């Protein structure tokens, strides 16, 4: 079974620029999550999709962050404009409806804003 | 609101010895799941072990076991026979069924295994 694919692996941008991250979940996984992990902290949920609908985006900074999951498969997360404090690892995860035995995470995208 | 607390400073263990990583949680829900993840320096999040709130026995997965004490709201991870490759960050996390299935993570514990 192929894992969760994320790209790019690394990205360096200047503040006020825009950036986009891509995630392809495990085939058949209806639930997709985007997490932000700042250095030295645990991951924090940004947005949760169920198929192509948003379940939870309460911690997504909507003035600059946006996300979509077209056709309930791939997802993109965009930041525009980026701030220095957006420097973090962005993790994508997918799961079956019942996540009793764990999610599957992608390798993450490490974003540095300079 | 649910909360995961990991307060240990960086942990050190001698190779081949056992180590316990502490985790306490707070929730008013009766049905929940507890997870431990390993994050090496490469950054990927590796699932280690899961414990359901209604599971009567402590979960075990190879060298990993979860010491689940429901009344104390603790879910400590025990790693037996530590290996050099166990050096990493370890995160405790919690989730619930249904729409509220997101993982809520603690801040993590750094484990260093000494040869």
Per-residue model confidence as pLDDT tens digits over A37-59: 999 899 999 999 988 899 999 99
Residue B14 has a pLDDT of 97
Residue A3 in this model has a pLDDT that exceeds 60: yes
Residues of B whose CB is below 8 A from A55:
99
> Buried b / exposed e across A90-99, counting CB within 10 Å, b at 16+?
bbbbbbeeeb
Asked if the Cβ–Cβ distance from B43 to A89 is below 8 Å, we say yes
Strand ranges inside chain B, DSSP E: 3-5, 11-14, 19-21, 24-26, 33-39, 46-52, 60-61, 64-69, 74-79, 88-95, 104-105, 109-114
- Spell out which residues of chain A touch residue B4, defining contact as CB-CB under 8 Å: 42
Count Cβ atoms below 10 Å from residue A101 Cβ, excluding itself: 13
- Give the residue carrying structure tokens 């085939």: A27
Mean pLDDT of the residues in chain B: 93
Mark B16-27 as b/e (b = at least 16 C-beta within 10 Å): eeebebbbbbeb
Q: Please, what is the end-to-end C-alpha distance for chain B in angstroms?
A: 41
pLDDT in tens, B24-76: 999 998 889 999 999 999 888 999 999 999 988 999 999 999 999 999 999 99
* Mean pLDDT confidence for B69-84: 96
Q: Do A48 and B106 lie within an 8 Å CB cutoff?
A: no
**Minimal Cβ distance to A91: which of B45, B46, B108:** B45
Q: What pLDDT shows up at residue B56?
A: 87
Question: Hey, what are B46's tokens?
Answer: 């590796």
Cβ distance of B35 and A102 shorter than 8 Å? yes
* Residue percentage of chain A with pLDDT more than 70: 94
Say which residue the tokens 């390993």 belong to.
B38
Q: How far is it, in rounded angstroms, from Cα A111 to Cα A22? A: 13
Residue B97, min C-alpha distance to chain A (Å): 7
A-chain residues near B91 (CB < 8 A): 42-43
The pLDDT of residue B96: 85
């Amino acid at each position: 079974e192929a894992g969760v694919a994320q790209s790019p692996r690394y990205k360096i941008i200047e503040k006020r620029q825009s950036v986009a991250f891509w995630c392809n979940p495990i085939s058949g996984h209806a639930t997709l999550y985007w997490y932000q992990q700042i250095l030295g902290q645990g991951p924090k949920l940004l947005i949760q999709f169920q198929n192509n609908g948003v379940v939870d985006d309460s911690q997504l900074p909507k003035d600059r962050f946006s996300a979509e999951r077209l056709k309930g498969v791939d997802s993109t997360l965009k930041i525009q404009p980026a701030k220095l404090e957006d420097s973090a690892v962005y993790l994508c995860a997918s799961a079956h409806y019942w996540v009793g035995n764990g999610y599957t995470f992608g390798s993450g995208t490490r974003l540095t804003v300079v | 609101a649910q909360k995961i607390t990991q307060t240990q400073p960086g942990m050190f263990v001698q190779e081949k010895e056992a180590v316990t990583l502490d985790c306490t949680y707070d929730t008013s829900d009766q049905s929940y799941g507890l997870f431990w993840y390993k994050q090496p320096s490469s950054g990927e999040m590796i699932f280690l072990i899961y414990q359901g709130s209604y599971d009567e026995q402590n979960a075990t997965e190879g060298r990993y076991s979860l010491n689940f004490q429901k009344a104390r709201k603790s879910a400590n991870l025990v790693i037996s026979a530590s290996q050099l490759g166990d050096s990493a960050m370890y995160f405790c996390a919690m989730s619930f069924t249904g729409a509220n299935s997101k993982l809520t993570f603690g801040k993590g514990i750094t484990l260093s295994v000494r040869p």
